[in-house]
Amino acid sequence: MIHRDIASIRNTISSWRADSKQVRIGLVPTMGALHEGHLSLVDEARRRCDRVVVSIFVNPTQFDSKTDLAAYPRTEAEDIALLAGADAVFIPSVEVMYPSGFSSQVQVRGLADRLEGVHRPGHFDGMATVVTKLFGISGADLAFFGEKDWQQLQIVRRLVADLDLPVGIVPCPTLREADGLALSSRNRRLSPEARAIAPRLHAIMQDCARALRAGDRADECLETARRALGTAGFTGIDYLVCADAETLAPSEPAKQEGRALRLLAAASLGSVRLIDNIVI
């Protein structure tokens, strides 16, 4: 069932609650251009919940570039056809989500100021605001997020904890192509030449993580990896860091015994910017 306004989706959810007070509702927030990674979130929501809501909304407030917003793929008809496993699909317009006079914003300081936050000013404010709205609109018991956007996942967890929102956040593993490239809606914008290079990001990160686990110095491992990315053909490396998995603060493995660490990267091939992260 397709819903395009807030009253409609709320009425449907209210009817589910009326039928059974024990119904568990899952939310999968997306910006459309769906791929197998998104569908794996829907599948996980289906396993854990009685009803599944998928939202499709290209959120303009989390784009720092009008060009990037315009270039973001929009494939609504194809997306709807893929969502047979959802009980409801919420596809609001910008006017529905941000009506005249809208003036509120959710900010998560600290976590949002690192990594992506440095290179995409305002991105996480827009994301946090729209996600908070979606939680309120859906009244979901569980919400499902992919680990590929690791920083986003940590920010959502923080805002839910800080604002005492009654929704559980379920992280889901990154899905990859056979050659290691993390699935992303942006991958369809890669030229054939860039697509051939793109898997090197994950491969080089794996090499770096292995060296870090072996006890090599972090600064040397990261510099070697940055040079390898440049040699492979990446035209810009915004960051490649070893960080605490929860706080995202840069960390030396030797000094973080007992703490989970993550290797996070953002690098570009032409106009397409790729992000990835792996466990150290």
Which residue ranges are tagged as binding site? 31-38, 62, 146-149, 152, 175, 183-186
Q: Strand order of the sheet with strand 168-172?
A: 2-3, 88-90, 51-56, 25-30, 142-146, 168-172
**Which residue bears the tokens 């860039």?**
194
For residue 215 the two structure tokens come to 């006890």
* Residues known to be catalytic: 38
First and final C-alpha spacing in the chain = 42
Residue 2 forms beta bridges with which residues?
89
For residue 77 the two structure tokens come to 């008809």
Q: At what angle do helices 218-232 and 200-213 cross, to 10 degrees?
A: 160
CA distance 191 to 27: 33
